[in-house]
């Protein structure tokens, strides 16, 4: 049986405005076959089992892929209250395709007369990308599970909102069962790069975040507090205390992938799309190209090459 999901691409724009689409699930076959969950509306069967020994015919790798394609990938198209509603969150595919620079970046579905679908080759590329976001040695710690999970249930903050209130949600259980079938090799390597707090406090916060380029608004105009508060201001607009700076630095960690400039939203969102930046950013574009000295300095900081309180030669 072929792909069980379809996406009707009613309106799509490749400008900064993003992509407006209607999404639908096709119930030609259930998206939950072969999963042993005692949840309303889900089929009851033996759960998929992981292989306990080496395989010479690729079966160990193939089974998790087929399960992923039938049970996991359809969730990325599932409507979650947007578009056409003022409540809920957008479907994963609304934000995590060509217009994003985050690591969870799906292939753009292929248009067909019946809507949009992922071909087998596209699904394979999606699978290879997503398996870099899981931890087969400790499935519950996988970012792929934690980002959509509510923080009160142990999840991580997520700009796209939280889909699951608890780890008992049927969708969470589907993904967890799938990760458990993956070989142990799907375990993220330990981070080798540390982004320096002192450079953030001494150089990034007062010079990058608090001062606008080309007469534009600074980051502090929008990002002083809350979930996006990586550019805090001190009391009465003064210099932030160390505690305030550390809180801003903690928020900024969500937008940085240490050692990886390509997937660090802190570098990509203010960068103009013509210079390789992200398509979507509600604020201004601070840099036209990656050759900008400030961008280069911050890229070196993200790579762990710049530390301490010396802001020269850029500032």
312 domain residue, yes or no: no
Both 250 and 282 in one domain: the answer is yes
Distance CA 92, CA 103 (A): 13
Both 152 and 205 in one domain: the answer is no
**Quick one: tokens of 229?**
């508060």
Q: How far is CA 294 from CA 208, 297, 305, in A?
A: 8, 5, 14
Q: Which residue would you say has higher pLDDT here, 158 or 143?
A: 143
Both 154 and 261 in one domain: the answer is no
Rg (CA), the chain: 21
Of 23, 110, 140, 125, nearest to 74 (Cα)?
Answer: 23
Q: Mean of the pLDDT values across residues 190-201?
A: 86
Is residue 273's pLDDT more than 60? Answer: yes
pLDDT tens digits along 50-94: 333 333 344 344 478 999 999 999 888 887 764 454 466 677 887
pLDDT at 133: 87
pLDDT tens digits along 104-131: 889 988 888 877 789 999 999 999 999 9
132 domain residue, yes or no: yes
Q: Mean of the pLDDT values across residues 233-248?
A: 86
Q: Mean of the pLDDT values across residues 12-30?
A: 31
55 domain residue, yes or no: yes
Both 212 and 270 in one domain: the answer is yes
Both 120 and 206 in one domain: the answer is no
Distance CA 12, CA 22 (A): 10
Distance CA 49, CA 105 (A): 28
Both 154 and 229 in one domain: the answer is no
- Domain end residue (candidates: 180, 212, 235): 180
Both 71 and 176 in one domain: the answer is yes
Both 11 and 135 in one domain: the answer is yes
Q: Give residue 271's domain range.
A: 197-302
- Domain end residue (candidates: 123, 153, 180): 180
- Domain end residue (candidates: 180, 206, 228): 180
Can you spell out the DSSP letters for 177-211? HHHHTS-TT--PPPP-----HHHIIIIIIIIIISS
Both 118 and 61 in one domain: the answer is yes
Query: Which stretch of 18-32, 161-175, 209-223 has the lowest confidence by average pLDDT?
Result: 18-32
188 domain residue, yes or no: no
Query: Which stretch of 128-142, 232-246, 282-296 has the lowest confidence by average pLDDT?
Result: 232-246
Distance CA 264, CA 241 (A): 26
Share of the chain above pLDDT 70, in %: 75
Query: Which stretch of 127-131, 173-177, 216-220, 272-276 has the lowest confidence by average pLDDT?
Result: 216-220
**pLDDT band, very low/low/confident/very high, at 242 (cuts 50, 70, 90):** very high
110 domain residue, yes or no: yes
257 domain residue, yes or no: yes
In 3-state terms, what secondary structure has residue 60? helix
190 domain residue, yes or no: no
Both 99 and 229 in one domain: the answer is no
Is residue 230's pLDDT more than 50? Answer: yes
**pLDDT band, very low/low/confident/very high, at 259 (cuts 50, 70, 90):** confident
307 domain residue, yes or no: no
Can you list the positions of beta strands (E) in the chain? 5-12, 19-25, 81-82, 89-90, 110-112, 115-117
Total domains, the chain? 2
pLDDT tens digits along 44-62: 233 344 333 333 344 344 4
Of 145, 171, 1, 184, nearest to 74 (Cα)?
Answer: 171
Both 59 and 123 in one domain: the answer is yes
pLDDT at 69: 92
Please count the helices (runs of H) and the strands (runs of E) in the chain.
Answer: 9, 6
Both 71 and 163 in one domain: the answer is yes
């Amino acid at each position: 049986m072929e792909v069980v999901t379809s996406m009707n691409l009613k309106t799509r724009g490749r400008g900064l405005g993003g992509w407006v689409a209607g999404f639908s699930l096709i119930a030609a076959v259930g998206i939950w076959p072969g999963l042993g969950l005692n949840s309303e509306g889900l089929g009851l069967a033996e759960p998929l089992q992981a292989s306990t020994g080496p395989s010479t015919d690729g079966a160990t790798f193939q089974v998790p892929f087929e399960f992923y394609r039938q049970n996991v990938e359809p969730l990325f198209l599932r409507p979650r209250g947007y578009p056409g509603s003022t409540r809920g969150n957008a479907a994963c595919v609304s934000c995590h395709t060509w217009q994003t620079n985050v690591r969870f970046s799906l292939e753009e579905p292929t248009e067909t007369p019946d809507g949009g679908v992922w071909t087998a080759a596209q699904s394979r590329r999606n699978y290879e990308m997503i398996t870099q976001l899981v931890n087969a040695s400790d499935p519950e710690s996988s970012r792929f599970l934690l980002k959509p999970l509510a923080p009160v249930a142990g999840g991580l903050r997520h700009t796209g909102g939280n889909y699951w209130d608890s780890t008992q949600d049927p969708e969470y259980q589907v993904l967890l069962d799938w990760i458990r079938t993956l070989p142990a090799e799907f375990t993220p390597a330990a981070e080798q790069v540390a982004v320096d707090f002192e450079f953030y406090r001494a150089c990034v916060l007062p010079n990058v975040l608090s001062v606008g380029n080309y007469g534009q608004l600074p980051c502090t105009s929008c990002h002083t507090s809350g979930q996006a508060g990586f550019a805090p201001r001190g009391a009465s607009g003064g210099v932030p205390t160390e505690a305030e700076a550390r809180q801003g630095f903690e928020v900024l960690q969500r937008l940085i992938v240490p050692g990886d400039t390509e997937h660090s939203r802190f570098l990509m969102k203010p960068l103009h799309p013509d210079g390789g930046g992200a398509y979507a950013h509600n604020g201004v574009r601070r840099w036209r190209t990656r050759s900008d000295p400030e961008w280069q300095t911050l890229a070196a900081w993200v790579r762990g090459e710049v530390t301490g309180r010396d802001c020269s030669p850029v500032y």
